[in-house]
Amino acid sequence: MGDLQGAQFQATVEAVRPKPDYIGNALRAFLVGGLIALLGQGVTEYFLAAGYTTPQAGARAAVVMVFLGAILTGLGWYDRIAQFGGAGAAIPVTGFANAVVAPAMETHPEGTVMGTGSQLFTVAGPVITYAVVAGVLSALARWLVLGG
Amino acid sequence: MATRLGRRSVTFDRAPAIIETANLAGAMEFDGPLGEYLQVRIDDPYLGEASWEKAESRMQEEALRAVLRRAGRQETEVDLCITSDMLNQCTSCSMALRHLDVPHLGIFSACASLTEALYLAATAIEAGTAGLVMVDVCSHHESAERTYRFPTELGIQRPPTAQWTATGAVAFLIQAGAAGPRITGATVGRVIDAGITDPYDMGSAMAPAAVDTLVTHFREFGRAPDAYDLILTGDLARVGSAVARQLLREQGYELGDRYSDCGVLLYDAERQDVHSGGSGMACSALVLSGFLMHQLRTGRYRRILLAATGALHSPTTYKQGESIPAICHAVVLEAEPGGAGEGEGA
């Protein structure tokens, strides 16, 4: 039964396996990501109208959006939004909040140190790690090209 | 005594009978097409416990006690208890069995554990090493997701090939010479790795193992697929069972309507967001404990082949890029001769 494992099997799997709906997924991601961004912009405008400078308003809007992402995760809604919106829900800062709160929620039975404390960044950890690495590399490149 | 048919198949001549079964299942499983055949509904995945793991262990214990209660037997009458679950080190069984006085064997073939346990139970009864055998398998959607994949609340878009781990704990009592559907034969699987590395496509990964066991079964038993009223694979779900059907066709077996899959039957894929279908040890176990036991007891089906399939990877192996080894063990289940449903016809 060699053909259960060979190229013919791969061809059978490829023929049967449903393809993700790339175009539909992209449109849904655009919609969900766009709505989250629109909401973020609305919050930013609120803070601007309240008299904050642009950097101040942006920082405050980020805090509000992280809070919303965390709350929606806690209510068990964010994973449903993400199943619909895919990367449109994962990429905004609300998705980052979700990536931190989701492991926190289910590791609490293992305690605050070995559970939540050590597992909090199991999903978001790589983002932080490689954001730092990318920051160092881009700073290095700038230093090499522009001399500081 | 059992009679060997070739290297991997055996018939059980003392006809060990499944005398009783008990099951607990989650809301999704109850809301599925086979919900009417299930017994105890669990709406709270925590069962009032502090963690999903504790809840799963509670489910196991309740299933074990329920099957004894339903059969009117005592735990001290049980000669052997074979269990499996999907947590690391099979802890949900062990935690549950702290509270029961039964000789215990823990096993693991992932979602093929049910049929492995039934094979071992029948073998022990045939060999005379045990009289009354208890089998129990369990999976819990949330604890399995946590063990195998990502946190359940994480915003991950699951692809159409992904499967939904069933929540359920299912126990069986097996004894020779008693009333109930019989385990009359089995074919033991071998590990087959078809090179699939995507843990979100376990159906395709397991399909070759299922086909290998089914084809070996037909050959060693000298039976054609039409010797069975129903041939069910474990939890290949829609994608995997379509792959299996095509692979069987290439091997010269056209199964037609008599073939289905527990992962397809357990949920309504149009109505329930389960992607390709069900998986988990409880998937085939709930289908057997509820729907199939009913059909066998009433004689609607006279003889079925249940071929549970298991994906034998771990989170560590797939992160290291290993492909997914799979296995499939098949058992033959037959309605009791002259039983209550004799003549109702299949």
Whether B344 maps to a domain, the answer reads no
Whether B101 maps to a domain, the answer reads yes
Q: How many residues does chain A have?
A: 148
User: Choosing among A25, A28, A98, A106, which should be mutated to test the B contact, i.e. which has the most B CBs within 10 A?
Assistant: A106
Whether the Cβ atoms of residue B323 and residue B181 lie closer than 8 Å to each other: no
Q: Are strands B259-261 and B230-233 parallel, antiparallel or unpaired?
A: parallel
How far is Cα B86 from Cα B112, in angstroms, rounded to an integer? 11
Is residue B11 classed as helix, strand or coil in its secondary structure? strand
Residues B160 and B197 in one domain: no
Three-class SS of B159-202:
CCCCEEECCEEEEEEEEECCCCCEEEEEECCCCEECCCCCCCCH
Residue the block writes with tokens 């609305």: A42
How far is Cα B318 from Cα B297, in angstroms, rounded to an integer? 41
Whether the Cβ atoms of residue B197 and residue B318 lie closer than 8 Å to each other: yes
Domain ranges of chain A: 21-120
User: Choosing among B53, B150, B153, which should be mutated to test the A contact, i.e. which has the most A CBs within 10 A?
Assistant: B153
Tell me which chain B residues have a C-beta less than 8 angstroms from the C-beta of A15. Answer: 246
Structure tokens at B168: 């359920």
Distances (CA, A) of B266 to A28, B36, B133, B328: 29, 11, 26, 19
What's phi and psi for B344, nearest 5 deg? -70, -20
In which domain, by residue range, is B286 found? 182-334
Four-residue CA torsion sign, A55, A57, A59, A62: negative
How far is Cα B180 from Cα B334, in angstroms, rounded to an integer? 9
Counting Cβ atoms within 10 Å, is residue A120 exposed (0-12), middle (13-18) or buried (19+)? middle
How far is Cα B181 from Cα B291, in angstroms, rounded to an integer? 13
Q: One digit per residue, pLDDT tens: chain B, 346 residues?
A: 799 999 999 999 998 999 999 999 999 999 999 999 999 999 999 999 999 999 999 999 999 999 999 999 999 999 999 999 999 899 999 999 999 999 999 999 999 999 999 999 999 999 999 999 999 999 999 999 888 888 888 888 888 899 999 999 999 999 999 999 999 999 999 999 999 999 999 999 999 999 999 999 999 999 999 999 999 999 999 999 999 999 999 999 999 999 999 999 999 988 998 999 999 999 999 999 999 999 999 999 999 999 999 999 999 998 899 999 999 999 999 999 876 544 444 3
Whether B146 maps to a domain, the answer reads yes
Residues B148 and B212 in one domain: no
Cβ of residue A3 closer than 8 Å to a chain B Cβ: yes
Residues B91 and B135 in one domain: yes
Residues B214 and B290 in one domain: yes
CATH number of the domain that B316 lies in?
Answer: 3.40.47.40
Is residue B240 classed as helix, strand or coil in its secondary structure? helix
Can you give the pLDDT at residue B151? 83
Cβ of residue B50 closer than 8 Å to a chain A Cβ: yes
Last residue of a domain, one of B130, B154, B176: B176
Q: Report the candidate in B99, B93, B81 with the shortest Cα–Cα distance to residue B143.
A: B93
Cβ of residue A25 closer than 8 Å to a chain B Cβ: yes
How many CA atoms within 13 Å lie on the side-chain side of B189? 37
B57-84 b/e with 16+ CB inside 10 Å = b? bbbbbbbbbbbbeebebeeeebebbbbb
Whether B285 maps to a domain, the answer reads yes
Residues B66 and B186 in one domain: no
Judge: B155–A98 Cβ closer than 8 Å, yes or no.
yes
Whether B342 maps to a domain, the answer reads no
Residues B214 and B164 in one domain: no
Last residue of a domain, one of B176, B191, B211: B176
Whether the Cβ atoms of residue A97 and residue A73 lie closer than 8 Å to each other: yes
pTM for the full predicted model? 0.93
Can you give the pLDDT at residue A39? 97
How far is Cα A22 from Cα A113, in angstroms, rounded to an integer? 41
Can you give the pLDDT at residue A3? 61
How far is Cα B262 from Cα B283, in angstroms, rounded to an integer? 6
Residues B208 and B303 in one domain: yes
**Looking at the partner chain, which of A16, A17, A86 has a beta carbon nearest the beta carbon of B157?**
A86
Whether the Cβ atoms of residue B79 and residue B132 lie closer than 8 Å to each other: yes
Q: How many domains does chain B have?
A: 2
Judge: A81–B243 Cβ closer than 8 Å, yes or no.
no
Residue B222: count other Cβ atoms within 10 Å of its Cβ. Answer: 10
How far is Cα B141 from Cα A41, in angstroms, rounded to an integer? 38
Last residue of a domain, one of B128, B147, B176: B176
Residues B156 and B264 in one domain: no
Segments of chain A scoring below 70 in pLDDT:
1-5, 148
Q: Report the candidate in B212, B272, B190 with the shortest Cα–Cα distance to residue B237.
A: B272
Residues B136 and B219 in one domain: no
How far is A123 from chain B, CA to nearest CA, in Å? 8
Residues B229 and B303 in one domain: yes
Whether B341 maps to a domain, the answer reads no
Whether B186 maps to a domain, the answer reads yes
Whether B213 maps to a domain, the answer reads yes
Tell me which chain B residues have a C-beta less than 8 angstroms from the C-beta of A13. Answer: 196, 204, 207, 243
Tell me which chain B residues have a C-beta less than 8 angstroms from the C-beta of A90. Answer: 155-157
How far is Cα A86 from Cα A63, in angstroms, rounded to an integer? 22
Q: Using the 8-state DSSP alphabet, how is residue B22 labeled?
A: E
How many CA atoms within 13 Å lie on the side-chain side of A25? 14
What's phi and psi for A38, nearest 5 deg? -65, -45
Which helix (H) or strand (E) is B104 found in, with range? strand B104-106
Residue the block writes with tokens 């792959």: B243
Can you give the pLDDT at residue A77? 94
Tell me which chain B residues have a C-beta less than 8 angstroms from the C-beta of A71. Answer: none
Residues B296 and B326 in one domain: yes
Q: Are strands B303-311 and B230-233 parallel, antiparallel or unpaired?
A: parallel
Residues B73 and B118 in one domain: yes
Can you give the pLDDT at residue B153? 84
Can you give the pLDDT at residue A148? 67
How far is B88 from chain A, CA to nearest CA, in Å? 15
Cβ of residue B218 closer than 8 Å to a chain A Cβ: no
Contacts by B42-46, CB closer than 8 A, 24 or more apart:
B42/B167, B45/B140, B45/B141, B45/B142, B45/B167
